[in-house]
A = this chain, B = another copy of it.
Amino acid sequence: MKLHEYQAKDIFMKSGIPIPNGQLVTSADQANKVTQIINGPPWVVKAQIHAGGRGKAGGVKVVHYPYEVVTATEAMLEKPLRTAQTGPEGVVVNQILIEERVEVDSEFYLSMVVDRDTACPTMLFSQAGGTEIETQAARSSGVIQKEHIDPVSGWMPHYARNLLYTLDPPPPPGAMPGLMSVMAKLYKVFMTLDCSLVEINPLVFTKDRKVYALDGKITLDENALFRQKELLALEDTREKDPLELMAEKYHLNYIRLDGNIGAMVNGAGLAMATMDVIKLAGAQPANFLDVGGGANEDMITKGIEIILKDERVRAILINIFGGILRCDVLARGVLAAAEKTQMDLPLIVRLEGTNVEEGRKILKDSGLKFLVASDLSEAAQLVSQQVKG
């Protein structure tokens, strides 16, 4: 679950990580008032969307007159913002953060993730703070320094020193305590809020010798939200695909893709492989849909419904390898969905595994029109023919 910049910064502030003064607005009128309470000029007007790359896309403006705060806000609010990370249709901006501007002396990149190889929370730090850290990282490894935080020791000051003293020249003595403190607090935020990512980019040292988080990004571990209930209120689903939201509600893994073949599969690996096979057969999947290993009849019905809500879909491929999910359960779910909706799209079904005979029989006896595939390659060929023909 992604948080907005303003939400991340609010968490930073409460955790003792300094941030510039700022105020969230959702109208030009509010923006006008904010110029009276936030230090300026200049001010920074920042579109609040979950995607990165805002700066280059015009989602961050530095302005020098109060009226410019208002016009900049008006220019962004309720309009789609297209960044390198949003896709071509962009994302509609619903909220704007207006901040004082601080005078930057030096910029750093600082973040925390869990490293898969070492199974350790890991802090990443770079002198190359700014907008393009990911491409920089890709280009020259070594630009980003890593420190694995041992789960027994927890945070210790030497982790911060190991990162900071890699800088050449080392940070000015005046910056050390502030930077070390931010690192310790970032670790604490990461651990106590069950984050999967916390990022400050840039973390800056200002000309008046203070340390600030100028931007903030937090992604929460959705598996841990059961013990982070107070963070649930921070969810902003307005940027999400409506079908993905619907799928979440029914605990289905659905991801919208660019093609026109609706696919429903049990198990993530098999679902990915099914997408791949569809593509190999010359068609394009409209979605990834994993109903899970333990799906029940209702979840199958909902899965079909979601696929049918997608108007681009021209044919449906159901690929089930029965394990926990029995094929007869699947068959009943498909029938229920077919009854509820008017399913008139070509349907290709490939069933295998537990109770496969019973499942096949239920479908056959139902009068529902569908094609049976005996294996996965054949299923992909059949569905591909449907959309080509």
Contacts and interface: CB of A to CB of B under 8 A. Distances in A.
Q: How many copies does the complex hold?
A: 2
Interface residues of A, number: 2
Contacts of A151: 152
A151 B154 CA distance: 10
Interface string A250-274: 0000000000000000000000000
A104 B279 CA distance: 72
A151 B152 CA distance: 6
Contacts of A152: 151-152
A320 B383 CA distance: 93
A151 B150 CA distance: 11
A158 to B, nearest CB: 18
A291 B152 CA distance: 35
Interface string A125-163: 000000000000000000000000001100000000000
A114 to B, nearest CB: 15
A119 to B, nearest CB: 11
2 contacts: A151-B152, A152-B152
A152 B152 CA distance: 5
User: When A and B form their complex, which 2 residue pairs have the shortest distance between CB atoms, in order from nearest?
Assistant: A152-B152, A151-B152
A385 B153 CA distance: 55
A118 to B, nearest CB: 14
A152 B119 CA distance: 13
A201 to B, nearest CB: 31
Nearest to A150: B152
A151 B151 CA distance: 9
Nearest to A151: B152
A152 B154 CA distance: 9
Interface string A299-320: 0000000000000000000000
A152 B150 CA distance: 9
A241 to B, nearest CB: 38
